[in-house]
Structures are given as C-alpha cells and as structure tokens.
Structure 1
C-alpha cells in the first residue's frame, strides 16, 4: 500500500528559511570583514623583539626630586652656619693651656713655623673660595697653634679650622652631585646602561628612561553588565628608539591595542607613528613635520605633541625627573594626537591617595584627572594614578564613557629587564 507524504507545515518552512537566511548573512558578514582587513593599508609599525624580564618591582621610597636636592644644597651652603665657623674663645684656650705642662720645643716644629711665616695667607670671603696662591687650608690652624703652646688648644683650633675649610667643599660636592641624585628619581636603568653610555653608543639622557617594562593589570568595569579581563602597558627602548603599548583583553567582547613608536630625545618622547587596533579595525596617525590624521588630512604639529599611548610614559618621566612637580592643585598641559584630530589636554593634579592593589597592597599614588575638552571628539575620559614609590609608573587607569560605562585597571605586577 503506497504511503502518502504530508507536506511540511508553514511554520516549519518559515523557520527553515529564516535559518538559511541567517547563515547567509553571517557568511556575507565574515567575507566583508575579511575583505575589509585585506583592504586596510599596511601597518607602519616596526616589529620589536620580545624582551626578557628579569625582576619584579616592589614599592619603595622614591629618591629625592631635583627640587628637594636643590633645597638641601642651599641649606648646607648657607653662610654663618654654627659648628663650622665658630672658633674657641682666646681666654678659654689660654685657661685650658695653663692646666697642662708646656712641651719642649722641637727643631722640626721651629723650622716648620719659620717656613709658614713666609706662606701667603688664606682669606675666607664667605663664599667658600680661597684666594689664588693659598697653599693649604691648614695654614691658619698652624699659625694659631704657634700662638698657644698647648697641644689640646692646638687640636681644637685645627679641628675648627679644618671644619670651616671643608664646609664649602662639601657644599660644592653636594651641588655637583645634585644631577646624579635627581636622576635616581627616574626609573632605574638596565644593568648594561653604564657600559653603553660610556661607549658613546647611547646618549646619557636616554638612561633616565626606564628599561623594558611590563605592567600587568587586573581589569574590571561595566558596559551593559559587568566586565572582567586583563590589560598591559608595555614599554621598550632600543638605543634612542622606543615603543609604548596599551592593550586590553575582554575575551570575545573586545580586544584592543594602542601602539606608539618614535624617538627618545632630550626634550622627551617624540612619537612618529601611532596606531589603534580595536577588534579588526585599525586607525592611525603619522607624526612628522606635520600630523597626518587617519582620513589623510594634515594639520600643524604642536610642540612636544604626544599620543594616547606615549602619554603614560612621558608623564611618568616628567614627574620622576622633577620637570613637573606633583603638587595638589597643579596641572599638566600637552598636545595629544589621535586618529581623529589633535587637541590640547590639561590634567589637574588632585592629590595623593592610598590605593589597595591586588598583589602590592597599599600604595600611595597621585591622582590626575583630565579636563573636558572645549570641543570633545567623544565622551571617553582617562584618569591616571602615578606611584612615586614605583618609579612614577601608572598603577591605576580608569577609562570612562558616560555615567555607566567604564573600565578600571589596577596594576598587579611590574616586571623589568
């Protein structure tokens, strides 16, 4: 007996058609995405070898800034300091001398006294310098000793005169060492830095910048729900060339990478190429004699312009070297180049706060917040916290977009080469 086939119902046919349509649309979207990636211009970034990190930073007291060093040097070199220029009173010396027997004169001492009578006199001008031709800072002490026959009195006068003579030298030595002390507030150079600098291959100012550094962050936030992920700020330098990278990974939701490459100069970082990679979309800026935006338009290049990735390292270096004091109520101004345009940014220094970091614990950091632009290109704002005890590196970054959307980065580990 022949079996009769019943035609499928209309709802089933409709579901099948919708499924086929969805698959076709996904296939077309994948093809279009692949084509758009192929049609993108090639990246202008230069590939750098991955560094080998050898140590992990721990929080420690920062070295004195240049302002603090200058204040200390001025205090040490101030005139009329008690302890270095005050001699014992003659009556006190005489009374003490009378309490001890008078030693027998020695021929050698007499000959030395005769020779010193012919020596020129050292004049203290109050500025810590002696007149030309002065043979020794101990000559006045020997002359005073001949006025008193007591060895104890002579020792007192000699000690006082020696302290007075050495005080200006100590102040001068402190002043001469001030630049080197200030340089230690900057991030520590790599182990090979002294040899490289001595050979002349790398300018000395490059050594004030950190060696290869990787800051790993714990990422949390909110965007239509809770966000969790990881982020990194990477810094590398090869000679006078640098690369700064900020990258965030939120799994299948979002991955982004912002890269800056350029030169290290005596005036600071000089970005040349900046690229943003968000999912499969890439945009960039070229910075040369002018600034070439992503759409091809060219605009004048401001002095000391930075980009969205280089700013984190540039600001930390300015603070570490004392170019900009981290004082509450102060501000930092600089131009920022992004794919859509160039704007002048102002960061207000709000003050010091105690952060509870995931692995480093309680760390003091200075909070910077940018002001709103007169003509904003978007609603994204990035606040930064720099930690003086961790080489002035950015230990927290909070990026907000509106009231309910934000990403908060708290540093977990800091590795250096």
Structure 2
C-alpha cells in the first residue's frame, strides 16, 4: 500500500471530529436563523399558542350561540362623547318622600340600639334604589301645596310624661318618655325624648316663632337610636327649607311644619275650630322630615275612648298617611278635647310594622 493510501484511510482524530461537529452545528444554526427571518420556519411554541387562542374563541362563540337566540347587531356608529351630568339634586320646588329601612329577622332579641344600627346599614345599602313619590313643583302648584291658614289657639305650656311601648323586629320593649311644650309670647320650644329598655330611641327638638299662621318652625333636630343628629332648617331670610342629611331644598311659603310642631299645630287648630275635627274630614299640611318634605294628608278618624291609667278619656284620633310609594312613617295622634287638646297618645309606625307608642301617664301645667 502506498503512502497516500495510508493517509486517506487513516482514522480521524478526536480534535478533527470536534472541529467538524462545530462547523456542522454552526451551519445548521445559521440556516435556522435565515429560515425563521424569511418566515419559512415557525417554532413549535408559537404553533401551540396560536392554536390555544383560536380554540378559546371558537368555544366562546359556540357557548353564546347555544345560550341565546341570534341578535341582530346594530350598525357600528361612532360613539358619542360622554356628557358629565351634575349630581342628582331636585330643584327647590320638588317634593319626595323619605326612605325607610327594611329590617331582617334575627334569632335573638336585639337591643333597640342594635336594631337601629342595622336599620341604618340597611338604609345606606338601599339608598340608591329607594322609591319616592312623584315630585310636585311648588312654583306651578302653589295653591295645592301651600298649607292653608287656620285659626289658632295654642295649648298652655306643659310637661307631659308618657309610658313608652316599642316593637322592633318582633320583640317588645317598654320605657318612659317626656315632651315639654313651651309657648311664650311669639316664641315656642318643643323638646321630647323616648327611652325603651334603658336606651334612648328617639330624641327631638323644635324651636321657632308664633305668627299669624300659628307655629312657624326655625329649626328641627332629631336623633334616632345611635344615628347622628339631623337638622332641618326653615330659613327666614331666604324663604327656603333645607336639611343637614340631604341636599334637597324647598320654598318656604308659610304654614310649613316639622314632625314635632305638627302635633301642636293640630292641637291649636282643634282648640280654635273644633268643627274641623269630624270623622271623615281631611286636612293637608306641608311637613318637613329629616331628609325631605311633602304635603301630609291628615285624616280625622273619629272620636275614640282610650284608657289613661284605667281612666277612660275621650279623644280625637287623627292619622297621617304617607304619599303613595313613599317611605315616610305613619303617625297616629289622639287629642283629648277635655284636656286642653293635649296629645294623650302618639304612635309612629314604620313601613315594616315596627312602632313606637307613647301614652300619657302624667301632666304638669306650667305656672302662668
């Protein structure tokens, strides 16, 4: 065998093999890069991701078709720019009715304060969905909403004490209450408090003037349970009614009352014109609550006999009914015509049936 033949058939060395492997790997790598750049090569990872996206879209379309009937899509239009509207605030001449909380049942008897707290949370939750009565524009319907002028004869100043009975969430509570009525010249003041199960469930105050329309409130304050005190303002200089608990406002036309003064305004009307109190008659007086105001329809139910410490007393039963769809409480008042027309029984009833009732237990007339 020649020398050249021995060289040709010699085995490659390990170094030569490594060099050859590197060259082949380099050529293969560059070929892959060129093919990928030219779009002729797609990596397996990309293929799986693309297939996954397409599969998900097909499944959504199929699910939608099975659940709903075909819906004709409207022609695409350019969306209009959003218009920023101001916060909802009815005009000063509009009326609405207060909201009322819904109380859920519990297995254990709650305290009055605990029940009030739950009512407050429920009210905040339902606030956006509450129903109100149709607004009335006082500017256009002044004759319909302005309280008429009645003859007045205010009762003498007195301190009235009451026995309290309350029902909350199916449980009954008992306690005491007091209402102090003071009328001095052209000024008046009403303060009241009701306690049940050692808790103050209602506290209120009304102050103002006495004019040709009778009682003319300036400020009404109310605190129910653990809720914060609310204030209702009857502005003389601006002739408006406003609230600390809402942004509503109403024109003040004369004769408007609050939840406390309405009691004594009715008593003054009965003392001056007892002929107004006939069974089946109806009175309309504009009353402001803690968040808004509305005309109250006050029905004369009739003359009834109630027991005061086992003593029967004849009294006129009147009832205020909230506007249809409203959430105002229903108020029942019994006026004893033989006792200076003082309110000998008061009862406020919630929409859900819970109530607070005060029955006269003692009376002290102020010294003249």
Identify the TM-score tier after normalising by the shorter chain.
0.5 to 0.7
| 1:405 equivalent in alignment to 2:354 | yes
Give 1 or 2: higher helix fraction. 1
Aligned position for 1:349: 300
Q: Which runs of 4+ in 1 moved over 6 A?
A: none
Q: Under a length normalisation based on structure 2, what TM-score does the superposition of the two structures give?
A: 0.54
Aligned position for 1:307: 258
Query: 1:226 and 1:347, CA in 2 relative to 1: closer, same or farther beyond 3 A?
Result: same
Aligned position for 1:290: 240
Aligned position for 1:216: 161
Aligned position for 2:343: 394
Native 8 Å contact 1:258 1:308 kept in 2: no
Superposed displacement of residue 219, structure 1 = 0.9
Aligned position for 2:269: 318
Aligned position for 1:101: none
| 1:369 equivalent in alignment to 2:319 | yes
Choose which of 273, 297, 302 in structure 1 pairs with 2:219.
273
Pair member with larger Rg: 2
Please give the alpha-carbon distance, in whole angstroms, between the structure 2 residues aligned to 1:254 and 1:392.
27
Question: SS at 1:411's partner residue?
Answer: strand
Instruction: Trace 1:16-415 onto structure 2 (pairs within 5 A).
Output: 208-224=153-169, 225-278=171-224, 279=226, 281-288=228-235, 289-294=239-244, 295-322=246-273, 325-358=276-309, 361-378=311-328, 380-415=329-364
Superposed displacement of residue 296, structure 1 = 4.1
Please give the alpha-carbon distance, in whole angstroms, between the structure 2 residues aligned to 1:411 and 1:323.
22
Please give the alpha-carbon distance, in whole angstroms, between the structure 2 residues aligned to 1:259 and 1:357.
26
Superposed displacement of residue 372, structure 1 = 2.9
Please give the alpha-carbon distance, in whole angstroms, between the structure 2 residues aligned to 1:329 and 1:315.
16
Give 1 or 2: higher strand fraction. 2
Deviation string for 1:245-289 (max 9, x for gaps)? 232112444432111110011220100111112235110111021
Q: Under a length normalisation based on structure 1, what TM-score does the superposition of the two structures give?
A: 0.48
Please give the alpha-carbon distance, in whole angstroms, between the structure 1 residues aligned to 2:322 and 2:229.
26
Superposed displacement of residue 375, structure 1 = 4.1
Native 8 Å contact 1:356 1:362 kept in 2: yes
Query: 1:324 and 1:312, CA in 2 relative to 1: closer, same or farther beyond 3 A?
Result: farther
Native 8 Å contact 1:324 1:332 kept in 2: no
Aligned position for 1:416: 365
> Unaligned regions of 5+ residues in structure 2, if any?
1-150
Please give the alpha-carbon distance, in whole angstroms, between the structure 1 residues aligned to 2:183 and 2:199.
32
The CA RMSD measured in Å over matched residues stands at: 2.2
Question: SS at 1:328's partner residue?
Answer: coil
Please give the alpha-carbon distance, in whole angstroms, between the structure 1 residues aligned to 2:176 and 2:297.
28
> Unaligned regions of 5+ residues in structure 1, if any?
1-204
User: How many residues get paired?
Assistant: 211
Native 8 Å contact 1:241 1:263 kept in 2: yes
Please give the alpha-carbon distance, in whole angstroms, between the structure 1 residues aligned to 2:248 and 2:280.
37
Please give the alpha-carbon distance, in whole angstroms, between the structure 2 residues aligned to 1:367 and 1:388.
11
Superposed displacement of residue 323, structure 1 = 6.9
Native 8 Å contact 1:302 1:335 kept in 2: no
Deviation string for 1:43-93 (max 9, x for gaps)? xxxxxxxxxxxxxxxxxxxxxxxxxxxxxxxxxxxxxxxxxxxxxxxxxxx
Please give the alpha-carbon distance, in whole angstroms, between the structure 1 residues aligned to 2:275 and 2:282.
9
Question: SS at 1:258's partner residue?
Answer: strand
Superposed displacement of residue 403, structure 1 = 5.0
Please give the alpha-carbon distance, in whole angstroms, between the structure 2 residues aligned to 1:392 and 1:336.
20
